[in-house]
Amino acid sequence: MRLDMEAVPENKDTPISLAQHTYWNLSGHDSGNILDHRIQIWGSHITPVDQHSVPTGELLPVKGTPFDFTEEKRIGDRIGEVGIGYDHNYVLDCADQEKDGLKHAAKLRDGESSRVMDLWTDAPGVQFYTGNYVDGVVGKGNAVYGKHSGVCLETQGFPNAINQKSFPCVVVKAGEKYKHTMLFEFST
């Protein structure tokens, strides 16, 4: 499944960093939480946040921390060490893995069903979010979704890039096209 997002600012240079917020649960929408899912993220740094969840402009290495998903790991293994769950932007650095000009951003795996989703993108970052604030949402077939019932992988420019000179620029010049591509591949 391929998703292309485009925008053209008409009159003024404009900050643009579109993202999608799809929740994934490879076990099935009514199967409970995603803590047993396994994930690998091709990012060796995150953009740490302040007390208001705003990125500070720093890049923090993930090696040896609860944020280290450079090798496939169970999502729930260290989630308790990061507050209520993951909601962090990873800096993608996977130059050795490309497909049609897109970088390999993440691999999500459900161990029970062996379903796998690979995510490819041309964006510099991916926000990894574990549904930390989902609380009793009624969904498809009257299923009730709770905390950690889905995972979001949101490819994007770095949050707060407009205020951080060290982050990749998100300003698009008037009349120029912004384009952002994601490719979701599913397998078993």
Enzyme catalytic residues: 21, 154
Classify residue 151 as exposed, middle or buried by CB count within 10 Å of its CB (0-12, 13-18, 19+): buried
Q: Can you read off the two tokens belonging to residue 129?
A: 């979010």
Q: How many CA atoms lie within 13 A of 166 on its CB side?
A: 7
CA dist., res. 148 & res. 146, Å (int): 6
The conformation of residue 96, written as its DSSP 8-state character, comes to T
Contact 52, 101 (CB under 8 A): no
